[in-house]
Structure 1
Amino acid sequence: MLSEKSVLIVEDSALIAVDIESILAELGATDIATEGGGETRIPESRRFDLAVIDIHTASALGDSLIEKLGQESIPVVFLTTGDETRIETGYTGRSEIVRKPFTYEDLCGAFARLLG
């Protein structure tokens, strides 16, 4: 499903980021960039096929990340601990919402719906 795909992860919890990386690698992603925390720098020159983003971490980074992903039509899996059925980010591209704590099946289902 993710064979040869490039994926951006934005998550401030190292444990959750490692879990996501493991799932992505198992599904065949070969280029995974993980960012998070207060010093996050999103790679400017890289092109991603998919992004997995903690909504609260992304909101701390400002609107530029969401705008860039939207301009490049990159599908996004938004992670949240809340009850949101919609996330007000201004992002208008294809997206899925996955609630934490998530399962392997939760993420795989979101990836399949976005990339399938």
Structure 2
Amino acid sequence: MGPQAKEGRVLVVDDEPMVRETLGQVLADEGYVVDLAVDGETALERVHASRPDAILLDLMMPGMNGRQFLQALRENQSFSSVPVLIMTAVHGLNVNLQTLGASEVVEKPFNVDELLNKVALAVYRSRDANKTITQPLPVVTVPKAPAKETERGVVLIVEHDRARLQQLDMLLSERGFTVVSMTRALVQLSRLARALRPRAVLLDVRSEGVNDIVRELGSAQELEMIPICVFARDHAPGTEGTEVLIDASDADLMQFVERQV
């Protein structure tokens, strides 16, 4: 039996198709109802059509950008309390949260653990504060957006060392990949793989839960064509029956990913 479905509606606002699709799939796979918007103007239309419990918002967008959207949202008393999580590649933005009118920051490249935790907390607080939501939420299908030519697909990474994870995130993102990363292997990682069809999966042998994930990915026929690299930064013992790339450097892992595209 899979994890219990979450309750709540989340609006994802980002002009990058791959980011929208990836976040939409991750959140929908968790059980959230997901709406997508390409810019601030479209996002306001989505908000008025169906009030979200939380919003994931990119600041840098064409047309009505994230700041302008936040200003318009906060000026409307009906939606002024909706939690907004700003998505940014700029570190240290937390000091400007109150000025921006946002509730939280989600740094790019994304760490799935932190993203889901922050969204879950925002949705819980929103629904707890808004007792008027009593009707069942209608199901919204997350649309597939065509990838830009410069986008090279999704790479799933599990790396227990957060500093090394962030470094590898940055390197792959600079090469045009959309990175979905985590410090431990979530039980739903195989479901993420099914939804996102990543170009490659990189699994740190020392991360909690990797052995089970390797077995599950290997036994699923629809996932058998997805390249998987189980790696160790040193001479760590490998997973039973699985070849491990030992003494793996960032360059080694980058080369593995590049060979798959």
Q: TM-score interval w.r.t. the shorter chain?
A: 0.7 to 0.9
Higher relative contact order structure (alpha carbons within 8 Å, sequence separation ≥ 6): 1
Residue of structure 2 in register with 1:24 after alignment: 27
- Alignment-derived partner of residue 106 in structure 1: 114
Task: Flag the structure with higher helix content.
Answer: 2
Look up the equivalent residue of 2:84 and give its one-letter code.
V
Seen in structure 2, the aligned counterparts of structure 1 residues 67 and 54 have a Cα distance that, compared at 3 Å, is: farther
How many Å separate the matches in 2 of 1:54 and 1:70? Answer: 22
List alignment gaps of at least 5 residues for structure 1. none
Q: CA deviation at 1:4?
A: 3.5
Shift of 1:96: 1.5
Q: Does the 8 Å contact 2:56/2:86 carry over to 1?
A: yes
Q: Is the 8 A contact 2:16 2:38 kept in 1?
A: yes
Q: What is the TM-score when the length of structure 1 is the normalising length?
A: 0.76
Measured at CA, do residues 8 and 85 of structure 1 come closer, stay the same or move farther in structure 2, by a change above 3 Å?
Answer: same
Paired residue total? 112
Instruction: Tell whether the 8 Å contact from 2:13 to 2:40 is kept in structure 1 after alignment.
Output: no
- Structure 2: segments with no counterpart, 5+ residues: 125-261
Q: Deviations over 1:24-48 (max 9, x none)?
A: 1111112x21111486352223211
Q: How does 1:1-116 map to 2 (within 5 A)?
A: 3-30=6-33, 32-37=34-39, 40-43=42-45, 44-57=48-61, 58-59=66-67, 61=69, 63-68=71-76, 71-83=79-91, 84-86=93-95, 87=97, 88-89=99-100, 91=101, 95-116=103-124
**Cα distance change, pair 38–82 in 1 and its aligned pair in 2 (3 A):** same
Q: Distance in 1 between matches of 2:40 and 2:54?
A: 22
**1:29/1:15 CA distance change after superposition, 3 Å:** same
Partner AA of 2:20 in structure 1 = A
Query: Which has the larger Rg?
Result: 2
Which whole-Å deviations, capped at 9, do the CAs of 1:70-96 have from their partners, x for residues lacking one? 84411221111112123331x26xx22
What TM-score do you get using the length of structure 2 for normalisation? 0.37
- Flag the 1:38–1:96 CA change in 2: closer, same or farther, 3 A: closer
Q: 3-state DSSP class of the match of 1:7?
A: strand
CA distance in structure 2 between the partners assigned to 1:106 and 1:69 by the alignment: 29
Instruction: Report percent identity of matched pairs.
Output: 25
